[in-house]
Amino acid sequence: MPLPHGAFDLIVCQAAFKNFGEPVRALDEMHRVLRPGGLAVIQDMDRDCTKADIAEEVRASGVRGWNGWMMGLALRGLRRRAYSAAEFRRLGAASRFGDCAISRSGIGMEIRLRKPA
């Protein structure tokens, strides 16, 4: 990224990380542009979510009929590109962050990576 080292205190990546072709490189770039003590938060789909989790997400959204079916189809397709919590732990360990904290809920998860102060 054309940004200086240590430019940010916080980076948020929402529903996009599964699209990066080189995930460790993306994490390393986040690390580079964070200030010491800065936090990167990644919110994305959990590859380990189940069909039942997806059905519940669609139901809770209030989308019904054809549109609900299409939403479920889209989410099942996106799940194939998503990372699991175990994969994120390996990516975090392989990156300059060295570690990450993961919380899971429904069809998603939140990954927190802190650059040491």
Residue 37: per-residue pLDDT: 97
* pLDDT lower than 50: segments of the chain: none
Residue spans per domain, the chain: 8-47+83-114
CA distance 114 to 117: 9
CA distance 56 to 28: 35
Residue 4: per-residue pLDDT: 86
**Domain 8-47+83-114: CATH class, spelled out:** alpha beta
